[in-house]
Structure 1
Amino acid sequence: MFTSRPATGSLAASIHNLHKQYVLGGETVHALRDVSFDVPRGDYISIMGPSGSGKSTLLNLLGCLDTPTSGNFFLGDLDVAAIDDDHRAEVRSTLIGFVFQSFYLLPALTVVENIEVPLLYSGRLDREARQRAIHLAEQVGLGSRLGHRPTQLSGGQQQRVAIARSLVNDPRFLLADEPTGNLDSQTTTEILELLDNLNKEGRTILLVTHEPEVAEHTKRKIVLRDGRVQIDERMRPC
């Protein structure tokens, strides 16, 4: 049974007292300790911190790729931490969009086919879906590259495909893990402008980065250290 609470329409997500522990070599590692914060709809948050601070663990929990040891993670009125693996996979494929540093495009597929992949997994691949994929390709500036394969694209173009793919299911929010980490400075600027524009259109974005200049694009900065929230700073209005 799902754990729920009264819907809070202004929030995309809400994290309450998340803890995550691992046992490695007989020792308990506290990857996250009592992490709590709300994510208003339309927010643009950078998550920062040194290596080992808990950034990747938090991203995995928010992306429904892992479960917390204790605590709650609400998407709307649904407590994702309390649901089973099958429902978690459904949430992951329909409510969350992922953008990764390494793109993870399928080399045998064209631009438009790569964008359609989440629709294929969710059983929603039809004629209307193809038009949506084409529209998203055009939105990220790849309308003239629909039939190209990843090896025929630059790194920046591949990341644009990955961003379009993350949007195709119209997710509740985007999780971006070092999305500019493999890009040169000019392409980094272009990708950040694209993310900025998506946020201006109302998309909620959580972005993990170690680069202060990337974080400067966001409206809010959360800094982790030793698994705890050390700083939660609002830089611009949501």
Structure 2
Amino acid sequence: MDKTLIHLLEKVEKKYDLGMREEWVPEAVHAYRVAIRKTRSYLKFWHSDSKGTDKQVKNRLVFLQRQTALVREWDVFIEIFGEAIDEKSVEKGRFSRLLMIDGFKYAAGFWDEIDQLALRMNGEADNQREEKLRKQIFCESEAEYVDWHRLRIRIKGYRYTLEQKAVADKEILVLLKEWQDLLGLIQDGLTNRKWFDWLEEKDAMVRHANEDVLQENLRKAKSRLPDFIEKLQRKHP
């Protein structure tokens, strides 16, 4: 197994252990999710001589990332709107978060399994992954109806790949991070909308404020997308 993959898997496990020790405070959940995403991004272009083992590891990582999704979404929502919504709604969400976090402890068994599977993984990363990721970004941006979530995933994957290089174009990294953040705000707005529905906060002023911010960020993304793509193409024609 190559050193990069070993390093990525070790980092995720360290973030998991740290999260358990810190009782999964919001920062620990986020750091754990980021580490999993970076590993999954790398494995998407991994060529293994054992496709069965390769698939097992990828599936385990998908499960572990999904396990943290609602917790992270709640953490973002409550950080923004915690002081503006009904206390009963806050307690309802906190209780649900505790139940979800309780399931994290069972992930230790998954990590033991991943460690054993990873030892049997031999292969290498696709040296064309940068070009493929870039093409995926172009493809997503040209769709009749842009899926902003999918575009953000492509941008993050491309950024993570570039960061692994000893010499990376800093201007492009900054541009990618700016777009990742903008699309992250759109994703947060859509997720917040779901939380308002779940908490039955249908007429809250903060719900309307969230909708206004979401629409403004969507307008920004739509108007700036052509310029973003042009800059990427100029750097990598």
TM over 0.5: no
Greater C-alpha radius of gyration: 2
TM-score, structure 1 normalization: 0.24
Larger relative contact order (CA 8 Å, sep ≥ 6): 1
Which structure shows the bigger proportion of residues in helix conformation?
2
Which structure shows the bigger proportion of residues in strand conformation?
1
